[in-house]
Structures are given as C-alpha cells and as structure tokens.
Structure 1
Amino acid sequence: MGDNNSGKSYLMSLLWGIRNLGGELLYADETMEITETYGRLRCWVKKQIETAREQGVHTVLASEIGDELQSVLQERINQNRDKFVKAIFNSSDVEIEELQIELTGLAGVSLDFIVREYGRNMGVAITNTGNDGVELALSEKERATGILEEKTGRYFVNTLMALVLDSHGGFNREIYFPAARTGFMLTKDIINKVSRRTTFNVAAEQETMVPFVRPINQFLDVINDLTFDGESNEDFKEIVQYLENGMADGTVEMSALPNKEAMYVPNGKTSGMPLRITSAVVTELSPLILILKYKRYVDALFYEEPEMCLHPQLQQKMGRVLCKMVNAGVQMNVTTHSDIILQHVNNMIRLSGREDREEICHQLGYMARDLLSPQKVKVYQLKAVAGGKTKVEELNCGENGFAVPTFNDALDRIMDEAYVIQE
C-alpha cells in the first residue's frame, strides 16, 4: 500500500530478485573472500559431513550456526549488492545505499546432511528436511586427493545459504506480474519476433535494444513457455473457474498453434477470439487464468495492482481470488491502491474469527477457503518523504483487520469536500 512514486514497484522487484536470483548473485560467489566468519561456517559444514559419513544421515538445526550464517550472508551482500541490483533492473541507473537481509525462524529449519556410497564414488547432499536439496558427486580420484574438504566446504556453504533463505532460482515458480499486463499480453508475439530477429540476424547496422527489467523478462518467458504438461493443479481449478465464470464471462485458452496465441471464448460461444479484440478486463485477467490453468507449480506471485481495469464490483471479487490463492498455498506479494480489495481482506480476517462464521458464510456464499487468518497476512504502508526517500511501516492487524492511513486520509478529504460542495 502507499502513495504513487513511493517505490512499491522497486521494492517488489527487489523482493522478487532475492527469491529468484539471490542464490546466483548474492551468496553463491566462488570468488568470495575467506573471512574468519566464513572459515568457521565452512568448518562447521565439514564437521556435519564427517558425522554423516559415519551415520549415513545427520540432521541438525540451522539455528546452531545462525550467527555465522547471518554474518557471512551480510558480507556477501555488501560485496555483490551493486551487481545484484543491476541484474534485476538491467541498468546501472538504479542504486541502493544498503541492503540487509535478516535471517529469522532458523529454529524451524532443519537440515539433513546425507552421504551415500556409489561403488567407489560418493554423493554428499544437504536438504532442507522434507524439501529441496542439492547433491554433490565426488569421484574416487577426488576423494583420494582430499578435494572433499575444499570442494564440499565452499560448495555447501553456498547451498546452505540457498536452503535457509528458501531461494533456489531457475524454476520460474515465483512469477512477477507487472502493472502493464495488458500491453505485454497484446504485444508478446511482436516482442518475441523482434527479439529473435535481433538475436539471430546479422545486419550492417542494428538498432540498440533497450532491455526490460528482469522481472518483466521472466513474465514474458513464463507466458510464452506455457504448456499443459499432464494433470493440472487441483488447488487451482476452483480459482480458475471463479475467474472465468465470475469475472471474465468466458474461458481463456492457449491455442495449439506454434505461436501459442491466447484466445478468449465468451460464454455461450464455441469459437474463440484473439485478446487484441477483447475487453481490458479479459486482457488483465488472462495472465493469471493461463498460469493457473497451464502451470502446475506456482510457489509465489509478485502481483502489481491486481485491481487494474476492474470495476469496484470486480475489485471485490479479485480480493476474493487473492484470499483463495493464499489458501491454495501460493505466497501472494501484492501492491495495490484499492481500498476495496483491502476491505475484502479485512472482512475475511474478521469473519475467520467469528464463532458464527459458518452461518455467515452460508448466508453470503463464502467457503472456508475464502477466509483468512490474521497470521497469513502482513500489510506495509509506503509513504514518500522528503529527500526522495520512502518510509516503510508495518501496519498492525486489529480485530477488524488493517487500517491504512493513506487510504483513510484520502477518503476523509473527499468526503469533507463533498459535505462543503453538496450542502
């Protein structure tokens, strides 16, 4: 939440970058200076691997080495910050003075160190218990030359950072939805064509191409690569049905043609039409519909202004979609100027705490997966202040949800003017 030009999009892009590019650019740097803290962390990793060699599997809490993890992480951030920001925005014009990531909740993160023998070879793995991990294969020669200590020490410190921060990258399961979705959906084929021509054709003079920021490039890649690979995600089917029947008044499909053109089929029709001749509501909703319909795994969405082009009635329905997405296990990171969406979120938080919620849900047509517990929601207000800076403030959740001063102040001003003008 916040004023225009208060830095919401920049902050959202930065958060997207930490989750998608952090492992590659922040803490997986093979040239990192071996500091005293880093040395202690590497020795700790080696010790856990040696224990795993004896036991097969060795489980330990990440909090055991929390201080060292925090220190090494900040050292690497300080060294790689400028490169990281440039990679996100594809430009040297965006700078940040300082970046800090605070590790919290390490007591709840357990790590499995696993050593497996494969004949004369060996595999060493670290996994975030029950989730993803990385395995490093070592040949007989590598084991004999003592490279185990050096190779696993540096390699698994990087792995440990990625697992603790839950940042693996490369899977396109955490997707950025830019505010200009309609424009990108209508021009994605032209963008791809121009990109191919620029990349593969040799010309005497070629116009310099100004790149999009990295999150937008990811959005275009994900949309272009959508394929229906096997069974769809059952958790998303009901949300897609609600979006199509309750908001778009028709279905959105990806054609089987080579260019994978998105087509809109209005309710009651049998043939589709290209998005370029549909309403703005359809073009705004189509990326979300297509991703939920054709992409089986979605871990997080970074969604800019989901209220774009939506009538107030549909803004409330979008608020309902966001709640459903959270309850389907998708982390929703949302920027919005919509007090209607926020009010719907507040209503679902309040309703979740009422003893008569089942009766009210039946009366209003809500289901359990429409409700939100306050523990699942955090709201931050961004406010532009003097000197081109932005103040970021976490808002407290009360019994009736969140009160956003920037929204309330604007509504109060317009109501005060209405009383003066219409009396």
Structure 2
Amino acid sequence: MNQEWTLHVERIGKITKADIQIAPLIFFIGDNNSGKSYMMTILWGLLFLGKNLFPARPSDSRTYKRCEDWLREHANKESVLDDEVVALYLNWFNELLSQRKKDFLRHLFNYTMESGKMEIRAYRQKKPLKLHFREGKRYTFNPGRDISFPQSEVYTREELLRMNTYICWNLLMGDIAAPLYTPVMRGRRNGEPVYLPASRTGFMLTYKQLLEQSIQANFGQSEADARGALTLPYVDFLQLITKFEPHRTNALATQLMPFLETYMTDGSFKIKRTLLPDFQYTPKNVATDMPLYITSSVITELAPLSLLLQSGINFKTIIIEEPEAHLHPALQKRMAQFIVRLVNNKKSVWVTTHSDTILQHVNNMLKLAKRPGTERKQLMEKFDYDSVDLLQDRQVRMYQFSKELKELKDSVEQSGTVVQELKPQKYGFEVPSFNDALERILDEVYAFQGEDD
C-alpha cells in the first residue's frame, strides 16, 4: 500500500470514538455486540461507495476551488503531489463526506441514523505520486508512481472536475479499491472490495431464496417490504455469489488454491452454471460431487474463499467476519496462515475475530520474521513455513472494541464503544479482553479442583 490514512469517527451508531489507521492486515477484536462489524461496514462502504460522493458538476465551494485552481495552474506540467497538494484533495473529500454522510450511511445500512463526525486524517504517501500530461485520450494510474492525463490547450471546468476526482480517488483509494472509471467487462467486478459476512453458511445454503427476497424488498412498494431488506455488504455478497463461475487460473489462485484444498477443505469445489450457479463439493479421493447442503459447516464456511479464488474475480481488499467460525483450532491456525498468505500476495485483509488461536499465529509469524537469518531458516524448515508466511510489524494493525458502561439507579447499561489501538510488544500483540477472560477461567479451574486432585 502506497497510501496510509486514518478514519476518524465520533458518535456514529455504537461507536463513541474511533481512529482506524488502514494497513494490509487489520484485526478488530473485543466484546460481542460492540460495533466491530459496524465499523468494518463503514470501511467497506468508503471503498465501495466513496466514488459516489464526488459531484456531477463543478462546485463553487472554497475547498474545491483550491483544487481546481491548483490543477489549472499545473496543467500540462510535470508535478509532484506533495503533502501540501494532498491536503487540498483530502480537505475536499472530507467536505464531500461531511455533506453526504447521512445519505452514505443510509445507503450502506439501509437505515436512517443520527451521525456525528466522520473524516479521513493523517494521510501519508510512502512515495509521492507524480502528475503527467501526455498525448492520447486515456487517464492512467500506476500505483505508487504516477497519474497521467491527456494534453489539451484548454480544459473546461467539467474536464478539470473529472481530473480532480480522478486525482483525489487514486490518492486515497488507488491501492485498495476499484478504479474510479471502471470499464464494464461482462459484468465482472474490477477491484471492488469483497465482504464475507459471519453468516456465510446460511448464505451459501439459501442464496437463491435470499436473492429473491432481497430483490422483492429493494423494489417493494410498502414500508414493510423495505424493512425486510439487507444491509449493502450483505446484498453485495449475494450478488457476488451469482458472479462465481469457472475462470482461467490467475496468479493468486495458483498460489493459494493448493494450500486451501490440501490443508483446509480436503477437497475441491465445482461451479455448475445455470440461471444461477450451483455449487458442489468433491472430497479428496472421492469421485462423487456433493451438493453443499449435505456437507459439513466447515465446507460451507470455506466455500466462498475457494469459489472466489477459482472465479478469478479481481479484488484488492477483502473483509472477513469471524474467519474462525465452525473451525477446529488446528484449522483456525491454517486459516490464519491463509490470511497471511493473502496479505503477502498484495491483498489487504481486514478481519473481525474472537479467536486467540488466529492471533497467536499472527504473533508467531511476527516473532519468526525477527529471528536471525540462519536461525529463522532452520525454524521455517522445521515447522514447514515459507517466506510468504512471515509478517512484519508494519503490515499489521489491531484494534480492541470495548463497551462503555454507565451505572443507573438499579442497573448498568451500555453507553457506547471506545476503540483502542493495540501496539505490538516484545512477544507480539497482547489482547486484554482475551487475557482477562482466560484468567477468570483459570481462577475457576484452581478454585474448583480439590486438594486431592
């Protein structure tokens, strides 16, 4: 990721305050019903809906005019988008986000809610982008390198708006979201973020019925119909399922499918294309294909990952809720390994989890990467790891969600959620909520075992 930024929110839904710095690998941990999925939905929404914030016509706001004036002054020149220039575009995007925040959240959650502050802060480029003007008709963006526009003697305000929108979007989202002007290719996705919800098994077994209900709800005339609709990430996941179809093998599938089928699914998945795709599972060393509804929950939980890879659907960021669901601890460790390999194949992976096994594997890979060269190589050979399994501190961010409680006269109720970033320590990330729960369990173990035990 060439760009880094922090999403700051206040008083939105359950979240009292949060500052989430994006990274290739993000973990949200903490209490149940504390807003982890809610916050992930907002992040996904910025990547998925953020393009809709830009206006269709040039604005006369001071914030936008500064961007327009800068671009007009630097048209047909080679320019560097340094921190001062970036601040112009960041201010413009935050102004648009502030103005359209309520509509953004309503579209995302299919629900009207009161909202406080939401803005992007602390933007940083690892390598400043450069702006070029060349002969031709195409806009081009090379992540971490440059943006190119076609040369022209005179640019209209409409053309400058289109160019400014292109600059702003690629500065913020170029490495993690779809291109701004996405070409339509047989309806296939091209870089949009993927959201795998916690209820994957239910979706995989009932997606045909859910699609029908979702369509009816979204196009229904009554208020009762509208209440039956799903949030946008869930609707998008249903639509994603319909786009699963066999596709030519790509580099990501070549890297990860053998691992997934050998160590996790113990078999393969097939897609039979009819009006809607039918999914079947073939166990290893068995010639018979099985419909998903007679397989175990482990298979239905892992099916979306396998089908996503073999479909060749292009994505830059994937959000996975509770990847440990229905998995034995040994498989949770493999899931963590799979996630790390996704990250090292240049995909951003953002996760909500309650699994100490997954987090311990992350800590192990952080520690292994820091061992001296010869010792690290020996440990990797002993425990069957490759360089694609290792992690560096800079790749990972971890956030704990904690409920704020307030005492009433006769009871205690939740007043909101605060989000705290956890920093890696000597032995990796320490998770207070996990440690506290384990300590209470150990206290009971010691208290309940008798002296004669």
Q: Is residue 266 of structure 1 aligned with residue 283 of structure 2?
A: yes
Aligned residue for 1:105, secondary structure, equals: strand
- Give the secondary structure class of the aligned counterpart of 2:418: strand
| Corresponding position of 2:43 | 15
C-alpha distance in structure 2 between counterparts of 1:62 and 1:378, whole Å:
26
AA aligned opposite 1:220: L
Which secondary structure state, in structure 1, belongs to the residue aligned with residue 101 of structure 2?
A: helix
Q: Which has the higher strand share?
A: 2
Deviates more, 1:128-137 or 1:246-255: 128-137
Deviation at 1:248, TM superposition (A): 1.6
Distance 1:83 1:271, change over 3 A: same
Match of 2:159 in 1: 152
1:44 paired with 2:63, answer no
Which residue does 1:74 correspond to in 2? 94
Q: Which residues of 2 match residues 288-327 of structure 1 at below 5 A?
A: 288-327=305-344
Consecutive unaligned residues of structure 2, counting only runs of 5 or more, are: 1-28, 183-189, 406-413
In 2, the alpha carbon distance for the partners of 1:73 and 1:207 equals 35
Q: Determine the C-alpha separation between the residues in 2 that align with 1:95 and 1:240.
A: 44
Q: Distance in 1 between matches of 2:146 and 2:59?
A: 28
- In the other structure, the counterpart of 1:390 is 417
For residue 87 of structure 1, what is the amino acid of its counterpart? H
Deviates more, 1:58-67 or 1:210-219: 58-67
Matches within 5 A, 1:10-409: 10-25=38-53, 28-30=54-56, 33-49=59-75, 51-52=76-77, 58-92=78-112, 94-106=113-125, 108-116=127-135, 123=137, 125=139, 127-128=141-142, 148-166=155-173, 167=177, 168=179, 171=190, 173-194=192-213, 208=225, 210-230=228-248, 232-355=249-372, 356-386=375-405, 388-409=415-436
Which segment drifts farther, 151-160 or 338-347?
151-160
Residues 299-327 of structure 1, C-alpha deviations (whole Å, 9 max, x = no match)? 11111000001111111111111111111
The secondary structure found in structure 2 opposite 1:98 is strand
* Structure 2 CA distance for partners of 1:68 and 1:389, relative to 1, 3 Å: same
1:347-373 Cα distance to aligned partner (Å, 9 max, x none): 011011111111011111111111111
Alpha-carbon distance between aligned partners in 1 of 2:292 and 2:343, rounded to the nearest angstrom: 28
Whole-angstrom CA distance in 2 between matches of 1:152 and 1:115: 15
Partner Cα separation in structure 2 for residue 59 and residue 106 of structure 1:
15
**How many positions carry a matched residue from both structures?**
399
Structure 1 residues 316 and 106: alpha-carbon distance in aligned structure 2, compared to 1, 3 A threshold: closer
AA partner of residue 301 (structure 2): E
RMSD: 2.7
After superposition, the C-alpha distances for 1:82-130 in whole angstroms (9 at most, x for unaligned) are 11111111221x442110111511462313232426xxxxx47463556
The question of whether the paired residues in 2 share the 8 Å contact of 1:113 and 1:126 is answered with no
CA distance in 1, matches of 2:209, 2:443: 48
For the 8 Å contact 1:319–1:341, the answer to whether it is kept is yes
Task: Give how far 1:199 is off.
Answer: 8.4
| Distance (Å, rounded) in 1 between the aligned partners of 2:253 and 2:386 | 15
How far apart, in 2, do the equivalents of 1:352 and 1:361 lie? 10
Partner of residue 32, structure 2: 4
Contact 2:132 2:146 in 1 (8 A): no
Determine if contact 1:224/1:260 at 8 Å carries over to the other structure.
Answer: yes
Query: How much identity, in percent, do the aligned residues show?
Result: 32
SS at match of 1:401: coil
TM-score, normalised to structure 2's length? 0.81
Contact 2:81–2:130 (8 Å) recurs in 1: yes
Q: d(CA) in 2 for partners of 1:40 and 1:207?
A: 46
Distance of 1:129 and 1:273 partners within structure 2: 43
Query: Which secondary structure state, in structure 2, belongs to the residue aligned with residue 100 of structure 1?
Result: strand
Distance 2:35 2:58 in 1: 31
Q: Does the aligned pair in 2 maintain the 1:109–1:164 contact within 8 Å?
A: no
In the alignment, the residues of structure 2 paired with residue 150 and residue 234 of structure 1 have an alpha-carbon distance, to the nearest angstrom, of 42
Q: In proportion to residue count, which structure has more helix?
A: 1
Contact 2:132–2:149 at 8 Å: present in 1 too? no
Q: Is the 8 A contact 1:383 1:390 kept in 2?
A: yes
Does the Cα contact within 8 Å between 2:207 and 2:238 map onto a contact in 1?
yes
CA contact (8 A) 1:115 1:124 kept: no
